[in-house]
């Protein structure tokens, strides 16, 4: 998206990282397939690593240009990112009227809006930062 013109006249932006007016959603009907596919690829990565085929697996999965100095945590994060891009939809809240803009399909630059019953920005997508790493 980067920017879109809201019906109220404001400009909705998602250029900040992290962005307090953006969130992501996965449709319930896609959730299991999303998790299963990601888990399958993460397991295949670790199997390849244990069998001494780590670099070959990474090259085949990502590309020959994928950096060779990325640790396991980074590779797993990138695998999850591959699957996120296939399933996740962007949701953006207008900081002026509170209207939510939902991406119509993954990878598509088209959005549909929903207006709240009580107009005005509600920081509905602001979220919180996870600080307790001891929780599973
Ligand atoms: Zn608006």
31 and 79 fall within a common domain: yes
In this predicted structure, the answer to whether residue 119 has a pLDDT above a threshold of 90 is no
The domain in which residue 33 lies consists of: 27-87
Q: Are residues 101 and 82 in the same domain?
A: no
In this prediction, residue 129 has a pLDDT band, given cuts at 50, 70 and 90, of: low
The contacts of residue 26 (CB under 8 Å, 6+ apart) are 34, 87, 88, 89
Same-domain pairing of 125 and 96: yes
Q: Residue 32: which residues within 8 A CB-CB, separation 6 or more?
A: none
Average pLDDT score over residue span 24-44: 94
How many angstroms is it from 100 CA to the middle of ligand 1? 8
Distance 77 CA to ligand 1 centre (A): 33
Across residues 23-50, what is the average pLDDT? 95
pLDDT at residue 20 is higher than 90: no
For residues 72 and 34, membership in a common domain is answered with yes
Q: For residue 30, how far is its CA from the centre of ligand 1 (angstroms)? A: 29
Together in a domain, 117 and 83: no
CA of 125 to the centre of ligand 1 (A): 14
Q: Identify whether 134 is part of a domain.
A: no
- Single out the residue of 89, 105, 116, 93 nearest to residue 4, CA to CA: 93
The predicted structure's pLDDT at residue 134: 52
Q: How confident is the model at residue 108 (pLDDT cuts 50, 70, 90)?
A: very high
What's the gap in Å between 120 CA and the centre of ligand 1?
Answer: 8
Provide the H-helix boundaries in 1-136: 28-50, 54-61, 72-87
Residues 34, 18 within the same domain: no
* Ligand 1 centroid, distance to 86 Cα (angstroms): 28
Rounded mean pLDDT of 111-121? 92
Distance of CA 40 to the CA centre of its chain: 19
């Amino acid at each position: 998206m980067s920017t879109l013109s809201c019906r109220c006249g404001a400009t909705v932006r998602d250029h900040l990282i992290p962005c307090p007016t953006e969130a992501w959603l996965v449709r319930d009907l896609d959730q299991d397939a999303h998790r299963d596919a990601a888990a399958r690829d993460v397991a295949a990565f670790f199997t390849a690593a244990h069998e001494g085929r780590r670099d070959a697996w990474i090259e085949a999965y990502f590309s020959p240009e994928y950096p060779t100095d990325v640790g396991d945590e980074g590779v797993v994060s990138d695998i999850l990112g591959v699957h996120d891009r296939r399933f996740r939809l962007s949701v953006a809240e207008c900081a002026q009227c509170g209207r939510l803009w939902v991406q119509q399909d993954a990878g598509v630059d088209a959005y549909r809006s929903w207006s709240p019953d009580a107009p005005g920005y509600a920081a509905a997508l602001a979220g919180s930062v996870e600080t307790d790493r001891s929780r599973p």
